[in-house]
Structure 1
Amino acid sequence: MKKILSGLLVGSILFGGAVSIHAAEVDGTGSASITVNGSLGQDNTDEQAPNIQEGSEDWINVTLDTANIFYTTKESDHKTITSPHYEIKNNSGRAVKVSVANFQVESGNLSNVEELKISGKDYTGTDQAIDLNMLGTGEFLVLANNQGKLDVENDPTGGLASDTLYSYSGTTAGDYYKKKAEHTTHTLTLAFEALGKNGQPVAP
C-alpha cells in the first residue's frame, strides 16, 4: 500500500513574479475585453512557488510504502534477516530530510535479534542505515527535490536522487530461530523535514 503525505493548503493567493502586460488603447468604443488568469492554492511541487514559507510543513509531499515485512532466511539457518525493498519518493519542490522518529514493538519481542537495520541511499547515492534494535531513532537520509536538486538556486542541472529504496537487514542470536518460529509486529514512524531553498535546515 502506498500513502501520499502532502502539505497542500488550498486558498486564494496573489501569484507574484514577472507579468506580461498587454496594453490596448480604447478609442471610439464603449467596452474592452481583458484576459484574466488566476492562480489558486499553493503548489508544493513547484520549486519556485512564491507563497509557501521556507521550512514549512506545507512543502512536505512524499510517497511511501506503509506496509513492510522482514524475515529470516532458511539458507542461513534463520540467522540472517532480510526483506523486500520499499520506496520513499520526494514529490516536493524542496529537499526533504527523513528521520526515524520511533520504532515500537507492538507484539512479540526482539530479545533474540542481535541487529535489525533499516538501510537506504541518500541523495548522493551514499548508503545510510539505522539499527532499529539498538538506537531506534535518528536522522536516516536526505532526498533531493523532485527536480533532483538539493540547492534550488545553485544546482541548476539536478541529477541528485529524489527517491530511494530501503530495506531491512540484520542477524539473530545463535541457533534460536532454527528450532523456533515467532511473529512480531512493529510500528515504524518516519518524520519528514522540508529543507530550505538552499538545501539546509531552516532555523525556527
Structure 2
Amino acid sequence: MKKLLSTLLVSTAVFAGAQAVSADQNIVANTDADIAVAGTLGADNTKPDAKIPEGDKDWINVTLPTEAIFYNKTTDPIIKSPTYNLVNNSGRPVKISLDKFTPSANNSAALPSNFDLTLDVTGDKVVTQSTSLVKGGALSAAPGDLLILANSVDQQAATDSPQPNPTAVTKNKGTFTFAGQATATTDLNLAYTLSLKFEAVKFQ
C-alpha cells in the first residue's frame, strides 16, 4: 500500500547560561574582606536543591526521541503519527519551544496542494496546543513556545509541593504528534528536521 511517509530528525538547542546572583557587601574604610565560597562537585541537575545558578542551561535534562514519522495512505488523506513522549528529568521546569522546521534538500519540489501538517502537543502547562508546520503544501512553521514541563518532582514553581513518590510524578511529562491531511497518488518520501529550544525556568 502506497503511503506518504516522512522521517523527522529532532534537533535541539538551549539558551545561554545565566549569571549567578548573590547579595553584595560594601567594603568601606577597610583593607580586607571575606567571601563565603560553596562548591559542588558532580552537581545533580535532577535535584531541585542542586547548586546551579537559576536559569542556567546546566539545569536542562530532557528526554525526547531522535526520530519521528508521519504518514498517510493513497486511499485516506488523513495524516497519522505515533505519539512521542517528552520528559523533563531536571530539578527545574523547562520551557520547550519550536525553533524551526526545515525540509531536506532532497524533498520533492511538487507537494500536494492540500498538504497540511501540524505539530500537536499535550502536557500540564501547554502554551500552544497545535502549531502549523505546512499549509497548502508550503512551509508555515514559525518559532513559538509549545509547553512548559514541571520539574522532576512535579513543581512548576518553588512554592508548589514536591511529589515525593517518583511513580506518581506526571506533570514533568508531555507528548507530541503530527496531524493533517494530503492527497497522494504515489509514494512521496519526505524528510524534515524539527528543531526545538529548551529554557530552564527560574524558581522565583
So what's the TM-score if we normalise by structure 1? 0.69
Say if 1:4 and 1:64, in contact at 8 Å, map to a contact too.
no
1:143-193: per-residue Cα shift (whole Å, max 9, x none)?
A: 1111111002x1115566101121111111xxx41x222100111111101
Equivalent AA in structure 2 for residue 78 of structure 1: D
Say if 1:130 and 1:137, in contact at 8 Å, map to a contact too.
no
1:52 aligns with 2:62: no
Q: Please name the residue that 2:88 is paired with.
A: 90
Change in Cα spacing, 1:121 to 1:70, as seen in structure 2 (3 Å) is same
Q: Please name the residue that 2:38 is paired with.
A: 14
Say if 2:128 and 2:145, in contact at 8 Å, map to a contact too.
no
What runs of 5+ residues in structure 2 fail to find an aligned partner?
A: 1-8, 15-36, 135-139, 164-168
Match of 2:180, SS state, is strand
**Which of 173, 181, 190 is residue 163 of structure 1 equivalent to?**
173
Match of 1:146, SS state, is coil
Q: Please name the residue that 1:30 is paired with.
A: none
**Larger strand percent:** 2
> Which 10-residue stretch deviates more, 138-147 or 114-123?
114-123
Match of 1:58, SS state, is helix
Write the distance in 2 (CA, Å) between the matches of 1:181 and 1:105.
Answer: 17
Write the distance in 2 (CA, Å) between the matches of 1:140 and 1:162.
Answer: 14
Cα distance, 1:138 vs structure 2: 1.4
Write the distance in 1 (CA, Å) between the matches of 2:83 and 2:123.
Answer: 15
So what's the TM-score if we normalise by structure 2? 0.69
How many residue pairs match? The answer is 162
Equivalent AA in structure 2 for residue 164 of structure 1: G
Map 1:8-157; keep pairs closer than 5 Å.
Answer: 14=38, 40-49=41-50, 51-73=51-73, 77-106=75-104, 107-109=106-108, 111-112=111-112, 113-124=114-125, 128-133=129-134, 134-152=140-158, 154-157=159-162
Write the distance in 1 (CA, Å) between the matches of 2:83 and 2:115.
Answer: 21
1:102-135: per-residue Cα shift (whole Å, max 9, x none)?
A: 1100032473253211111132478712111123
CA RMSD of aligned residues (A): 3.0
Q: Which runs of 4+ in 1 moved over 6 A?
A: 1-6
Greater RCO (CA < 8 Å, at least 6 residues apart):
2
Identity within the alignment, %: 30
Write the distance in 2 (CA, Å) between the matches of 1:132 and 1:181.
Answer: 20
Equivalent AA in structure 2 for residue 52 of structure 1: I
Match of 2:47, SS state, is coil
Say if 1:149 and 1:160, in contact at 8 Å, map to a contact too.
no
Cα distance, 1:41 vs structure 2: 2.2
Match of 1:104, SS state, is strand
Match of 1:183, SS state, is strand
